[in-house]
Structure 1
Amino acid sequence: MTVVSRFGEFTGKPTLTRLALASVVGNVLIVGTGGAVRLTKSGLGCPTWPRCTDESYTTTPEMGLHGVIEFGNRLLTFVLAAIVIAAVVAAWRQRPRRRSLVWLAVAAAFGIPAQAIVGGITVLTNLNPWVVGLHFLASMAVIAFAYAFWQATREPDGPTRPTVPGPLRTLAWLTVVVAGVVLVVGTWVTGSGPHSGDSGAARNGLDPESISQVHADTVFLLLGLSIALWLALRAVAAPAGAVRAAGLLLLAELGQGLIGFVQYFTGLPVALVGAHMVGSCLVWLAALAVLWSTRERQPLAAPTAPAVPTRSLEAV
């Protein structure tokens, strides 16, 4: 088998879908490892960027465990970049080539260096809590692009149509928007709390108790919208996939809410805070899944061959 044919197999649709899914999983994992950097006070383990020190791009023995943790998180960015570059190549090699699929792959790929730059600014600003929050929210944006890319690899190339009544589609969109608001307010809570990433990092100055109450209020709003969406989808006999996606969103929110309440009343233990960060990614993905489940993409109609004029027997 030639190298070209092997590469063609590598860039086939099943592999493209796996690469897209790996991009989603990798972006969630890097949020988890980024949380580990902050929770172990390793945020300035590499005190500068893009180098780890003024003289070295890698950690040094003098920097200890904090340097290893921070540098390890930086290395994961290169692994994720390799995955998305391979996905872009695979999308480009698809035949027939789908322009929308290529653009989604490129968007997911460019999110990785953009996120790395925000991470560098985070270090250069000595873990400014507002920039740290932006770093997390940038990951949520990249996850959204990666998820859209993954879904596109599993769908035909054609127009979309809603599979539920218009008001429920609007409710699904509203649920996603409120989920995004919950994430934003969650970064404000984090910026007011004790886990700054380094003992000398500043806090955002917000009252932790007050902003936590605001966060809880937005969570209750999200939960109410999700319950309403689940019940409404069942009432109109929506496709089973949409009802199931709404149910999974509810379960993700309840699990995330439980972790949030326990961590708040137990003094924010590191393990629970880390689980809460990863849980935020899962709730975000579940909300996106509900939105995607309320529409479907239809295959393009096959072009009809032009009629070939025939000569009558009399003409012959």
Structure 2
Amino acid sequence: MGTFSISRNRYQKIARISLILLAFIIVTGAAVRLSGSGLGCSDWPTCENDQFVAEIDDVHAMVEFVNRVITGFVALAVMIAVLGSLFRKPKRKDLILLSIGLVVGVIVQIIVGALVVREHLPPSLVIAHFLISMVLVWNAVELDYRSGLTLEETKRSSKGKLQKLSGLLVLCCSFVLVTGTIVTGSGPHSGSESQETKNALEVTANTADISVAGFEVERLPFDVPDVARIHGVSMIIFLSLMLAVLYKIRKSQPSSLPQAQNLLVAIIVQATIGYLQYFSGVPALLVGFHVAGATLIWILALRLHLSIILPKDGNHSVVLSSSAK
């Protein structure tokens, strides 16, 4: 009787499911905040002091509870990823370490999530919660991409001008994410707005007129227009750098061109949504699309960078010749 093992292709499917769930829970977490359900469950890990499941007729509590249930599925997926890396044939140390990183990250997220509820949604903790999610997505993208490579391919890392430029692109993307969280932490949709604030958001069309005085929870002490301009400038820099990367890819590594074009389109759409939400009074639906877009762009930027520094066999010879230029 043979020992249990997991093939390379099957393990990559496991890694891909983990990535999808980690990205999905970012969007559902945003839905909790945008629906004002951040304090729908006043306790953790139970919803209320003596009640684990939320009341079916309490919309805010149920939204928060469903998000917690999804967290459970994410935790299960990353545990399977760890077990899968141990039974994968051939076994790879880099995949084991990356899968363990997912488990550690999810545990940290659960702890931070509990603190977010217990401290009544302080923006610093909410921002940390989101950024840790993005680090987890980074980890999952690495696991997903590397699981599709052979061990020999992972050791043939390419270094050159394009590789450095793509690394700078990822760094710039992370800065855009950070500035975006500051805008979010300074403005409306704190996760538990008062009814007066919600009514004001429905009638105002000018983001600059929004006051944080009616919020039930703390907000960052920045003017939304000021931090939004900083975020907008960072996005323009990111887009400019993306155009430079695209030009370099066309010349030296055309195999990565489809991924670069997808990222460029996503950036343009994301920027359009960003300006629309700002000048229309930040409606919750557009903010939700913006969060989903940010997650997608982060994934695409990371995958583009990995395709450049760790090309697969069919593209390796092209990269070697371009790196020498």
TM-score scaled by length of structure 2: 0.85
Counterparts of 2:156 and 2:81, CA distance in 1 = 27
The equivalent of 2:239 in structure 1 is 223
> Do the aligned residues in 2 keep the contact of 1:233 with 1:243 (CA within 8 Å)?
yes
Q: CA deviation at 1:60?
A: 3.2
Give CA-to-partner distance per residue, 1:200-221, whole Å, 9 cap, x none: 1111111000000000000000
- The match for 1:77 among 71, 75, 83 is 71
- The match for 2:310 among 277, 293, 296 is 296
Aligned partner letter, 1:293: S
> Do the aligned residues in 1 keep the contact of 2:273 with 2:286 (CA within 8 Å)?
yes
- The match for 1:177 among 157, 171, 174 is 171
Aligned partner letter, 1:30: I
- The match for 1:247 among 258, 261, 269 is 261
Counterparts of 2:275 and 2:286, CA distance in 1 = 10
Q: Please report the RMSD computed on the Cα atoms of aligned residues, expressed in angstroms.
A: 1.8
TM-score scaled by length of structure 1: 0.87
Counterparts of 1:128 and 1:298, CA distance in 2 = 44
Aligned partner letter, 1:202: E
Cα gap change, 1:248/1:169 in structure 2, threshold over 3 Å: closer, same or farther? same
Counterparts of 1:298 and 1:137, CA distance in 2 = 30
The equivalent of 2:271 in structure 1 is 257
Paired residue total: 290
Counterparts of 2:249 and 2:88, CA distance in 1 = 36
> Do the aligned residues in 2 keep the contact of 1:59 with 1:68 (CA within 8 Å)?
yes
Q: CA deviation at 1:57?
A: 2.5
Q: CA deviation at 1:50?
A: 2.2
Give CA-to-partner distance per residue, 1:21-66, whole Å, 9 cap, x none: 111110111011101100110000111222221222222357x111
1:87 aligns with 2:85: no
The equivalent of 1:45 in structure 2 is 40
SS in 2 for 1:294: helix
> Do the aligned residues in 2 keep the contact of 1:161 with 1:296 (CA within 8 Å)?
yes
Aligned partner letter, 2:304: V
The equivalent of 2:207 in structure 1 is none
Runs of at least 5 residues in structure 2 that lack an aligned partner in the other structure = 194-215, 314-325
- The match for 2:280 among 266, 287, 299 is 266
Counterparts of 2:90 and 2:16, CA distance in 1 = 21
> Do the aligned residues in 1 keep the contact of 2:23 with 2:295 (CA within 8 Å)?
yes
Q: CA deviation at 1:162?
A: 4.5
User: Highest Rg: 1 or 2?
Assistant: 1
Q: CA deviation at 1:125?
A: 1.3
The equivalent of 1:309 in structure 2 is none
Runs of at least 5 residues in structure 1 that lack an aligned partner in the other structure = 300-316
The equivalent of 1:285 in structure 2 is 299
Counterparts of 1:95 and 1:12, CA distance in 2 = 6
Aligned partner letter, 1:258: T
SS in 1 for 2:262: helix
Counterparts of 2:303 and 2:28, CA distance in 1 = 24
- The match for 2:146 among 137, 152, 156 is 152
The equivalent of 1:306 in structure 2 is none
> Do the aligned residues in 1 keep the contact of 2:45 with 2:114 (CA within 8 Å)?
yes
